[in-house]
Amino acid sequence: MRSEKWRHRPIPRNRPPVFTALPATGTNIFDGLKHATETLHTFSVTDSDDAVNCSARVPENALFEVIAGVASRFTINVKAGVTLRAANGHYVINVDCSDGDNDVTATFTQPVIDTPPSFVSGIPGSSPNVSDSTVTQMLLGKFTTTDPDTACSVTSPSTTVYEIRNVTSPVNVSQPEFEVRISSTVTEAAIDFNDQAVPLTLTIRCTDGNPVNVITGTFNVNIVDEREILLRSGSGKQPSGVC
């Protein structure tokens, strides 16, 4: 009778793993190249009687990984060396976990926002002394920003006398380079030493196309009298009667 009772005793059911502290959506991160592993979120998966393994599903696992930590804790990370793009929208990561008998899945959505550009070098900047007789396509200086999508322009005090040009082959493709130049269309009168302050401060505006990602900087242009340059270089003499 006793053996018959044990023979009909139900086998305990293997319970599936349970996710804890894994929200549907993570906090915003910036796009761009990830030079090092970046942890997005830490969560737990509990199972009363089995060890649990978790991973990111294909194709998300090319960009993201799930790493086991202490006890039942796991982290969702961005892999080092990958590039995330805000233009792609939110990244949806399917996290699969298994205890060997039961498989469970959770979805984690990672918002990626546009990284605002910043000046790396050259801004604030200043040109060398420029003769007021030099009026055509003269290079005044260079500067570099951080965002490959950056476009820059001169916004004041003159948007026609001075211009910003892109360097077609920058040293680092992820850091675009720009040239501050005197426009080829200006006349000598437009940059006459007697008509403007020295130095003349240009306001340079840069944006990556996102209306909220706008930065400004200054660049000083030193337009000086041609006669002064000749005197300083010793290649000319001050005319008689001039103090």
- Indicate the average pLDDT of the chain: 85
Asked if residue 131 has pLDDT above 50, the reply is: yes
pLDDT score for 192: 61
Query: Across residues 162-188, what is the average pLDDT?
Result: 89
pLDDT score for 28: 94
2-113 and 119-233, same CATH topology: yes
**CATH class belonging to 119-233:** mainly beta
pLDDT per residue over 47-93, tens digit each? 877 789 999 999 999 999 999 998 899 999 999 999 998 888 899 99
Asked if residue 193 has pLDDT above 60, the reply is: no
Burial class (CB in 10 A: 0-12, 13-18, 19+), 97: buried
Burial class (CB in 10 A: 0-12, 13-18, 19+), 176: buried
pTM of the model: 0.60
Stronger pLDDT, 119 or 1, i.e. the higher one: 119
Least confident of 60-64, 166-170, 230-234: 230-234
Asked if residue 15 has pLDDT above 60, the reply is: yes
Distance separating alpha carbons of residues 194 and 224, to the nearest angstrom: 9
Task: Tell me how far CA of residue 162 lies from CA of 141, 151, 201, 208, in angstroms.
Answer: 12, 15, 11, 21
Topology given in CATH for the domain delimited by 2-113: Immunoglobulin-like (2.60.40)
pLDDT score for 148: 85
Structural domain spans, the chain: 2-113, 119-233
- The tokens for 218 are 């200054």
Residues of the chain with pLDDT > 90: what percent? Answer: 54
Residue with tokens 């006793």: 2
Least confident of 53-62, 93-102, 218-227: 218-227
